Structure formats: structure tokens, C-alpha cells
């Protein structure tokens, strides 16, 4: 039995990696198979994810596009398709230009659902040329053809960061990796719009060597170490661990996990734009918020304020 503290880490190092490496790094969290990452492992991992339909993994990389259209009709047709899970802005009303941001999954699914829309075809053709791994299964016999009247540019991260504040908060996405207990993650996954990937007790077998042949728990902030309450909590966790490991001798992890408590350590990646992070902090850093949630959210807010002062400085954690 291990006891570890809760923590939150901004994964801005992923922003400097390729989209394939980023998606693999996040996706392997679910199975805790990060040790299998090699220089050539990203492509087969992503192809298998697509084959199995694990679409949530494809939400861990966002793209921002600047789309110039020849006519208003092209824009109207696109908006009439009611694109889902995308942020769409028209920075200058007089210009026929849109700023479109979404995850790889969002761009894949809009093509699958609205592949006859001219602007969608133009965006997909550009993305498939630059990132063929994410669109190879949608190409068909003719592939993706560029569209006349539609010009698409992909923004760099530096260009996104240079956007005016009102656009930055909507088009800049950031991933945070939480190490916390399952009571906290039950609350985190209620937030929308966000993307989530979480360590899976269904697939992780904690009796394996890579987990130390033991279950890891999050230190409870409610009880002081050495107190009678802490002793009782520790005793309960040891009992759960013992039964869980016994069940694994004859059961699968998804069956044995039914005895594991909320105090179990889990890891979750939350990926959202800055506007949604603002909303999360407004709810999860107040005195009314669950104490274990505040334990990770208040330090995280301070770090966000350091990195994006113009966005988060108005918030005051408690």
C-alpha cells in the first residue's frame, strides 16, 4: 500500500511535441503504458485507437485554422451545418474570414457528418495533407481535393498566443494532469466542454510489478497523520487492498475493482480552452468547493495566473 499527495501539472510540454506524440502520450495514461512509448510507437497506437473507435483519445490535440472564403454563401453553408465541438469566430465582420478551432476528433467528425460542405472539404483537404495519419481512413478512392474559393491556414501556437484576449480565451487549449482521488475526478468529469482521459481501473492490474504489486491511495487532507481517524482510514485502505489483490487471483481487474474506494489514486488529463478553465476555477476554488478539489485547484490557479495573467488575474482563490 502506497500513500501519495494530490497534485496538478500543466502539460504545456505537450504543446511542443507533434500531434501524434501528444495524442499517444495522453492516450497511454488510460492503460498506464507510458513505458511503451518509443520513437516509432505513435503511429501504430493511433491507428489502433481509430480501429477500436476510442474517439476520446483523439480529443487530446487541438488545431486552430484561419479560413478565407470567397463568398458569404460558403460561410453561410458551413454555419448552417451547425458544427459541433468547435470554436468559431469571425474577428472582422467585413472580412470573409473565420477562425476555427477544434480537436482532431472534431475535425474528423465534421467531415464524416458534413463532408458535402465546401468549407469542410477545404479544411479537411489541408489537414489531411499536413497530418495524413489522422484522416487516412476517411479519404476514400478520390482522396481529399482542395476547394476553389476556400483558403485554409493552420495557426502556430505562437500565433494563437498572440490573439487578442477575447479570442485567446476561446482558441487557446491547455491540458492539465491531475493525480488525485476518484471522488475529485467524479466532480471534474461533470464539466463541459472539456475532454478527459483517465487511468482505467478496468485495464490496470495493480498486482503487476509496474504498480509495485500494490494499490496507491491519495493522502486524505481531512485527517492528520497520527490521529485516530487517520489510523482508521489507513486500516480501511489496507483491508480494501488485501481483498482486491485476493480477487485478482481469480478475477479480472474490472471485476476486482468493485471493492476499491474513492481514496484510490487515479490520474486524469483535463483538456479545455482557457474560457472553460476560467469557469472551472470560479466553481472549484471557492470555500463552498469540496476541500480535496480546492487542494489541487488553488495551486493550479496560481500557476495559470503566472502563465496567462491577463486571463486569470481577476480570480482570487480561497
Active-site residues, by number, are 284
Q: Are residues 311 and 274 in contact, defined by beta-carbon separation less than 8 angstroms? A: yes
Q: Are residues 67 and 97 in contact, defined by beta-carbon separation less than 8 angstroms? A: yes
CA-atom Rg of the chain in angstroms: 22
- Three-state secondary structure call for residue 177: strand
State the Cα–Cα distance between residues 188 and 5, nearest whole angstrom.
18
- Three-state secondary structure call for residue 136: helix
Cell of 111: 467531415
Nearest to 60 by CA among 26, 107, 11: 26
Nearest to 278 by CA among 301, 307, 299: 301
Amino acid at each position: 500500500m502506497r500513500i501519495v499527495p494530490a497534485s496538478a501539472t500543466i502539460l504545456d510540454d505537450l504543446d511542443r511535441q507533434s500531434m501524434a506524440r501528444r495524442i499517444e502520450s495522453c492516450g497511454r495514461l488510460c492503460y498506464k503504458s507510458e513505458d511503451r512509448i518509443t520513437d516509432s510507437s505513435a503511429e501504430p497506437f493511433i491507428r489502433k485507437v481509430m480501429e477500436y473507435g476510442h474517439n476520446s483519445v483523439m480529443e487530446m490535440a487541438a488545431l486552430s485554422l484561419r479560413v478565407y472564403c470567397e463568398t458569404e454563401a460558403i460561410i453561410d453553408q458551413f454555419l448552417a451545418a451547425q458544427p459541433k465541438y468547435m470554436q468559431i469566430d469571425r474577428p472582422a465582420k467585413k472580412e470573409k474570414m473565420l477562425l476555427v478551432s477544434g480537436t482532431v476528433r472534431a475535425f474528423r467528425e465534421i467531415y464524416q457528418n458534413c463532408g458535402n460542405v465546401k468549407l469542410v472539404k477545404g479544411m479537411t483537404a489541408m489537414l489531411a495533407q499536413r497530418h495524413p495519419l489522422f484522416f487516412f481512413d476517411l479519404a476514400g478512392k478520390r482522396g481529399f481535393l482542395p476547394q476553389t474559393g476556400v483558403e485554409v491556414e493552420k495557426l502556430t501556437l505562437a500565433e494563437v498566443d498572440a490573439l487578442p484576449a477575447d479570442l485567446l480565451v476561446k482558441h487557446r487549449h491547455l491540458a492539465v494532469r491531475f493525480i488525485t482521488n476518484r471522488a475529485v475526478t467524479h466532480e471534474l468529469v461533470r464539466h463541459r466542454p472539456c475532454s478527459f482521459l483517465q487511468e482505467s481501473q478496468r485495464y490496470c492490474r495493480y498486482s503487476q510489478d509496474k504498480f509495485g504489486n500494490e494499490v496507491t491511495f491519495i493522502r486524505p487532507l481531512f485527517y492528520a497523520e497520527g490521529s485516530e481517524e487517520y489510523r482508521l482510514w489507513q486500516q480501511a485502505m489496507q483491508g480494501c487492498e488485501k481483498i482486491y489483490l485476493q480477487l485478482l487471483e481469480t478475477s479480472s481487474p474490472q471485476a476486482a475493482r468493485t471493492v476499491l474506494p474513492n481514496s484510490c489514486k487515479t490520474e486524469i488529463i483535463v483538456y479545455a480552452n482557457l474560457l472553460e478553465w476560467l469557469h472551472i476555477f470560479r466553481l472549484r476554488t471557492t470555500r463552498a468547493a469540496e476541500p480535496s478539489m480546492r487542494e489541487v485547484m488553488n495551486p493550479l490557479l496560481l500557476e495559470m495566473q503566472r502563465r496567462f495573467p491577463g486571463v486569470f488575474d481577476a480570480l482570487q482563490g480561497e
